[in-house]
A and B are shown apart, each in its own frame.
Chain A
């Protein structure tokens, strides 16, 4: 039995589905007992609509509740819409207020109210409080279900309360200690409680703890949880009244969402994996179009050097060397700056970073300009038809690399900081802005130097 179950669990996806439907109803029910909600969702999502309904009918109310809690809220809302009120009520009875809130958030207001009426007063109150939080507030991911004890309680009574309430809460690593007005005092780790011998008051055992406020910025809260490794973060209101806790798994999910969001901003994506291709195309297009328009000034600038470049095609042919090198160095610097800004480093660190980047740009530029000189000479030596003056063009490329690299790294380190200062999001705005600025500067420098040198030496 154990072996079979494990086989099931780790085959994943398609096999799971086949293995499931090849069995009798009784065996299917057996299999579903004790299946982790996450695997249940995986099985469910691998099915066709009709099969989904068949599976749903096999589940107990508790399993249905698990399934809905783990599905994407929008999908869960779609399931709920198909159910009658009694069925919904039975399922909601087994769900946590924060999970119900996520689902309600996907529904129309009149539906929300209708469903809220199904719940007992306490849950309803919890949800009404949760539903008002904005997505970027800590309160939006907290769960109000926790076990609180007062400081005057004896450890034996605290243990009793724990045993009584444990099935209702997500995790029991610690009890939350409050005074009679529900003001937060600290936490009592379960490890301490199970070792304690009555008579002893909670007061003698509890510890102070970090906490956050419900309106705190979610990103800062998840960073704090990550840095301090706090498995159950207390959430208070501005009166220091304990409202709920943020569990570690919810913090990880929120954290990953932020990471993905940052990554998307940097790469000009604004969609998730559920988006339909046409919608994705429409959301990506404005960026592509904007960046094409931004390249107009580059074309205009190049045009003013038309005389030089039409006389010496070699300039055009060597152009990728310079543009790509400056572009690559700029991307490296930009990445450092963006990570630094998202880590919210102190002012002097940011200032110091700009200075070091600039100096590094000068050093890198110096070395690369020497290498570029050699490379240009070799390139012309292998393609002698390109030019009869390898040294001169080597010098032009070399000088341009040095100047544009120094400028490019400086721009890449300071632009994100400036963008951040004026209140825009540095991750999404910096990339295109920097590319354009660097391209214009580099082409200006390169063609400028080329015209000047050629005018003086070859003209």
Chain B
């Protein structure tokens, strides 16, 4: 994946100086244009190759001599810097609806251009990248052999196996509780899945926002996500309570404390889902602040985080109220 525009910039553009007449400018264009040249915009530079303005070919064609390039050029124009990120570049091209944008150095020297075609290709690459990172998949090739696939994915799976040991350790800490009320374990998948799902929803929303609308108001977003999380945790906990109670009454007739167990499950769902929604909203933003790509660490890392939180809540509540 290309990280900076330095690797990407193209040189298929034309420059003009501000003092020449539009007729001469047109001649320069006609003499220098090739099949590859982007001529939607022509770049006006001074003698040190610093960018001072942009003239659209449209304006140049419409203009009548005598008129200088200076009188035609726009001195307000969008531009990118060599250090700009790829996401920024895609965003700018889209925002300004142009077919090409100039890339300048810090001292405003014209270094190249990025075309809309490049931006669209990058957008495609970037979005595939998001999917892959969320699935900790570091390759995508439908024609790859089985062995190649395994080789590339195994290291990740082993790391994730390590992560699952954390979850197992949490469980072993509550061994005594589990031993006494084995029924609790039946609802563990429901709680973990629900917390994982609510977290994925707010995580996805956050990543979409970070990647596609970088200027969005993050505080408002977090507030909204927490409100959504609160509402849905509440409803889910009621649904979960009902499901658990129904299940225990129908399938576990020997268990006398079905109401108590169902209440613990409901309460756990409420707290665990609230935590899940919050981690989904916060973690990508924190990662981005730490300059880690939010998509990469989110998927499995989040699952473990949520699993650990949920299990601690579940078995702590069970130990307190049922033992």
Q: Establish whether residues B153 and A329, one from each chain, have CB atoms under 8 Å apart when the complex forms.
A: yes
Query: Which residues on the B side are within 8 Å of A266 (C-beta)?
Result: 131, 204
Query: Complex: how many Å from CA A299 to CA B117?
Result: 51
Q: Which residues of A334-379 are within 8 A (CB) of B?
A: 334-336, 338-340, 343, 345, 349, 352-353, 355-360, 362-364, 367-368, 371-372, 375, 379
Q: Establish whether residues A360 and B149, one from each chain, have CB atoms under 8 Å apart when the complex forms.
A: yes
Interface string of A260-302 (1 = CB under 8 A from B): 1001101111010100011011001101110111011011101
Q: Establish whether residues B208 and A260, one from each chain, have CB atoms under 8 Å apart when the complex forms.
A: yes
- State the main secondary structure of chain A at its contact with B: helix
Q: Establish whether residues B76 and A267, one from each chain, have CB atoms under 8 Å apart when the complex forms.
A: no
Rounded to whole Å, the gap between the CB of A248 and the closest CB of chain B is 5
Q: Which residue, of A278, A335, A355, has the highest number of chain B Cβ atoms within 10 A?
A: A335
A111 CB–B CB distance under 8 Å: no
Of B3-11, B93-101, B256-264, B282-290, the stretch lying at the interface with chain A is: B93-101
A324 CB–B CB distance under 8 Å: yes
Q: Which residues of B22-56 are within 8 A (CB) of A?
A: 26, 29-30, 33, 35, 37, 39-40, 52-53
Q: Establish whether residues B171 and A320, one from each chain, have CB atoms under 8 Å apart when the complex forms.
A: yes
Query: Which residues on the A side are within 8 Å of B143 (C-beta)?
Result: 349, 352
Partner of B197, one of A1, A34, A288: A288
Rounded to whole Å, the gap between the CB of A277 and the closest CB of chain B is 4
A50 CB–B CB distance under 8 Å: no
B190 CB–A CB distance under 8 Å: yes
Q: Establish whether residues A195 and B33, one from each chain, have CB atoms under 8 Å apart when the complex forms.
A: yes
Query: Complex: how many Å from CA A191 to CA B194?
Result: 59
Interface string of B155-186 (1 = CB under 8 A from A): 01110110111011101100100110010011
Instruction: Across the interface, name the chain A residue whose C-beta is closest to B221.
Output: A273
Q: Given A194-B30, A285-B235, A310-B182, are A339 and B160 neighbors across the interface (CB < 8 Å)?
A: no
Q: Establish whether residues B209 and A273, one from each chain, have CB atoms under 8 Å apart when the complex forms.
A: yes
Task: Report how many A-B pairs have Cβ atoms within 8 Å.
Answer: 314
A112 CB–B CB distance under 8 Å: no
Query: Which residues on the A side are within 8 Å of B98 (C-beta)?
Result: 249
Q: Establish whether residues B157 and A368, one from each chain, have CB atoms under 8 Å apart when the complex forms.
A: yes
Instruction: Across the interface, name the chain A residue whose C-beta is closest to B177.
Output: A313
Query: Complex: how many Å from CA A38 to CA B61?
Result: 25
Query: Which residues on the B side are within 8 Å of A288 (C-beta)?
Result: 194, 197-198, 201, 232, 235-236
Partner of B120, one of A251, A269, A371: A251
Query: Complex: how many Å from CA A190 to CA B57?
Result: 10
Instruction: Across the interface, name the chain B residue whose C-beta is closest to A367.
Output: B154
Rounded to whole Å, the gap between the CB of B277 and the closest CB of chain A is 10
Q: Establish whether residues B131 and A338, one from each chain, have CB atoms under 8 Å apart when the complex forms.
A: yes
Partner of A303, one of B134, B186, B235: B186
Rounded to whole Å, the gap between the CB of A135 and the closest CB of chain B is 19
Query: Complex: how many Å from CA A248 to CA B123?
Result: 13
Rounded to whole Å, the gap between the CB of A305 and the closest CB of chain B is 10
Query: Complex: how many Å from CA A367 to CA B150?
Result: 9
B66 CB–A CB distance under 8 Å: no
Instruction: Across the interface, name the chain A residue whose C-beta is closest to B149.
Output: A360
Query: Which residues on the B side are within 8 Å of A12 (C-beta)?
Result: 215
Of A19-27, A80-88, A124-132, A165-173, the stretch lying at the interface with chain B is: A165-173
Q: Given A260-B208, A289-B239, A321-B168, are A36 and B154 neighbors across the interface (CB < 8 Å)?
A: no
Q: Given A268-B201, A289-B239, A367-B154, are A356 and B145 neighbors across the interface (CB < 8 Å)?
A: yes
Partner of B185, one of A269, A309, A357: A309
Q: Establish whether residues B224 and A277, one from each chain, have CB atoms under 8 Å apart when the complex forms.
A: yes
Query: Complex: how many Å from CA A2 to CA B235?
Result: 57
Instruction: Across the interface, name the chain B residue whose C-beta is closest to A8.
Output: B76
Q: Establish whether residues B160 and A299, one from each chain, have CB atoms under 8 Å apart when the complex forms.
A: no
Instruction: Across the interface, name the chain B residue whose C-beta is closest to A440.
Output: B189
Query: Which residues on the A side are within 8 Å of B186 (C-beta)?
Result: 299, 302-303
Query: Complex: how many Å from CA A302 to CA B29?
Result: 75
Query: Which residues on the B side are within 8 Å of A357 (C-beta)?
Result: 146, 149
Partner of A249, one of B74, B116, B146, B149: B116
Partner of B153, one of A195, A231, A277, A364: A364
Rounded to whole Å, the gap between the CB of B273 and the closest CB of chain A is 8
Q: Establish whether residues B93 and A252, one from each chain, have CB atoms under 8 Å apart when the complex forms.
A: yes
Q: A162-B61, A248-B99, A284-B228 are in contact. List 6 more A-B contacts (CB 8 A).
A: A171-B99, A281-B231, A287-B201, A321-B161, A324-B160, A332-B156
A-B contacts, 23 listed (Cβ < 8 Å): A5-B76, A163-B61, A231-B117, A249-B97, A269-B208, A273-B216, A273-B221, A277-B224, A280-B224, A287-B197, A292-B236, A296-B247, A302-B185, A306-B182, A317-B171, A319-B188, A320-B164, A328-B156, A332-B135, A335-B135, A353-B142, A356-B144, A363-B147
A positions within 8 Å CB-CB of B: 1-2, 5-6, 8-9, 12-13, 34-36, 38, 42, 162-163, 166-167, 171-173, 190-191, 194-195, 225-226, 229, 231, 248-249, 251-253, 255-256, 259-260, 263-264, 266-269, 271, 273, 277-278, 280-281, 284-285, 287-289, 291-293, 295-296, 298-300, 302-303, 306, 309-310, 313, 316-321, 323-325, 327-329, 331-332, 334-336, 338-340, 343, 345, 349, 352-353, 355-360, 362-364, 367-368, 371-372, 375, 379, 383, 385-386, 435, 439, 443
The 4 closest A-B pairs by CB, nearest first: A359-B146, A267-B204, A249-B97, A320-B167
